[in-house]
Amino acid sequence: EAPLLQIDDLVKQFTVRRGLFARARKLSAVNEISLNVRPGETFALIGESGCGKTTVGRMVTGLEKPTAGTIRYRGTEMVGRSQRVTDLRREIQMIFQDPYASLNPRLRVWESVAEPIFGFRLMPKSAARGRVEELFSLVGLRPDQMDRFPHELSGGQRQRVGIARALAADPKLIVADEPVSALDVSIQAQILNLMRKIHGQLGIAYLFISHDLSVVAHISTRIAVMYLGEIVETGETRAVLRNPQHPYTQELLASVPRRRVSDRSERVRPPKGDLPSPLDPPSGCRFHPRCRHAMPECSASAPAQREMPNGARVRCHLYD
């Protein structure tokens, strides 16, 4: 089956200047990543904060422009502003970490949910309220909550509104950027169950971005592990979690006790040492300053991607 989303050699660099007279420097946020999302699947992108995963999501939704590389959605290159690109953008919606920040505080929540319906002219205005009512019921909100303002709802209810708003545009792909990490643990499970239910009912594909391995363990079919702007390991979620090959993935998993992978309160604890600055990424394998298996060649050259017997693809000199 042709992928819904195909990303190839995607690069994003930001120019940063610290101080008025400092010289401009390039920050390498995303470095030549490739991945694809199939129709109706949940693909997880995981890594520590600052690894570039959110930047990938923002490029996929058009909020950020790539420095190089291609993003194809249903076969169409999504960089640019042609009518075809604008039409296809509707099919890619985003759920944000903080729904409070993404909802207009001065609008009643039903109006925020209706905005994409008006914006994309999906139906006459007179029919929009009825459609929003349907969406509210789908995400587990009551009709009488439609006329509330965002501050009158709880965090979990606001995230349900954020999900309803994403669904209002009739998407085929939802980029979910840490959709539960701002919520209480008890609420996290409810929102994840809701997302799973929507996935089952509507067959929408997710690009699910998270730092929380225990969250993606249950929701995704495939996973890519990012480290400092690069994908170091990717494969079927089960295979990767059962038998991680890259030393970074191994450390991420070791920090989540096995029996508690199902406990959503357990977060990824990053490996020892700080994440190096993307302004000055380490040479060769970017993980080498923190890797217990580092060898002389690790700082000299970047490892190529290799396919392992379990189908996962790994970048590490251990497998040369």
Instruction: Determine the Cα–Cα distance for residues 114 and 104; give it in Å rounded to an integer.
Output: 12
**Binding residue for ligand SF4, selected from 114, 291, 312, 313, defined by CB under 6 A:** 291
Our finding on whether 316 is near ligand SF4 (CB under 6 A) is: yes
Shortest distance, position 163 Cβ to ligand SF4, whole Å: 37
- From the CB of 261, what's the least distance to ligand SF4, in Å? 22
303 sits near ligand SF4 (criterion: CB under 6 A): yes
**SS3 of residue 257 by DSSP:** coil
Specify the pairing of strand 230-236 against strand 222-227: antiparallel
Instruction: Please tell me the count of residues contacting ligand SF4 according to CB under 6 A.
Output: 14
Closest CA to 191 of 203, 179, 175, 208: 179
Say whether 3 sits in a helix, a strand or coil: coil
End-to-end CA distance of the chain: 31
Residue 2 or residue 304: which is nearer to ligand SF4 going by CB? Answer: 304
Residue number, 157 or 245, with CB nearest to ligand SF4: 245
HSE-up of residue 231 (Cα within 13 Å, Cβ side): 23
Helix (H) or strand (E) holding 249: helix 247-254
Q: How far is CA 92 from CA 134, 201, 313, in A?
A: 20, 18, 27
Of the two residues 8 and 320, which places its CB atom closer to ligand SF4 in the complex? Answer: 320
Contact 248, 233 (CB under 8 A): yes
In this chain, which of 231, 288, 312, 313 binds ligand SF4, going by CB under 6 A? 288
Compute the distance between CA of residue 250 and CA of residue 234 in angstroms, rounded to an integer: 13
Q: Would you say 222 or 246 has its CB closer to ligand SF4?
A: 246
The pattern of x and - marking residues 242 through 281 that bind ligand SF4 according to CB under 6 A reads ----xx----------------------------------
Smallest CA-to-CA distance from 167 within 192, 143, 203 is with 203
Max CA separation in the chain (angstroms) = 68
Residue where the block lists tokens 């929003």: 132
List helix spans (H) across 44-108.
53-60, 83-89, 99-102
| Least CB distance to ligand SF4 at residue 244 (A) | 12
**110 interacts with ligand SF4 by CB under 6 A:** no
Minimum distance between the CB of residue 287 and ligand SF4, rounded to whole angstroms?
5
CB of 281 vs ligand SF4, minimal distance in Å: 13
Q: Taking CB under 6 A as the rule, does residue 317 contact ligand SF4?
A: yes
Please state whether beta strands 205-210 and 42-46 pair in parallel, antiparallel, or not at all (unpaired): parallel
Chosen residue from 293, 300, 301, 307 binding ligand SF4 by CB under 6 A: 293
Please say which residue, 138 or 318, places its beta carbon nearer to ligand SF4: 318
- Cβ distance to ligand SF4 smaller for residue 206 or 248: 248
CB nearer to ligand SF4: give 146 or 312: 312
Using CB under 6 A as the binding rule, the residues of this chain from 208 to 247 that contact ligand SF4 are 246-247
Q: Is 58 in the site for ligand SF4 (CB under 6 A)?
A: no
Near ligand SF4 by CB under 6 A: residue from 45, 166, 287, 313: 287
CA distance 279 to 257: 33
Residues 184-203, one symbol each (x = binds ligand SF4 by CB under 6 A, - = not), give --------------------
CA distance 18 to 200: 47
Interacting residues with ligand SF4 (CB under 6 A)? 246-247, 285, 287-288, 291, 293-295, 298, 303, 316-318
